[in-house]
Amino acid sequence: MKLKSTAVLFISLAMLVLATVACEKEGDAEKAGKEIDKAFDAAKEKVHDATK
User: What is the reported pLDDT for 24?
Assistant: 64
Domain limits, the chain: 2-50
Amino acid at 47: V
Predicted pLDDT of residue 27? 78
Band of residue 1 on the pLDDT scale cut at 50, 70, 90: low
Find the DSSP H helices in 1-52. Answer: 2-22, 28-50
Q: What is the pLDDT of residues 2-45, one digit of tens each?
A: 778 888 888 898 888 877 776 667 778 888 999 999 999 999 88
Q: Name the amino acid, one letter, at 20.
A: T
| pTM of the complete model | 0.49
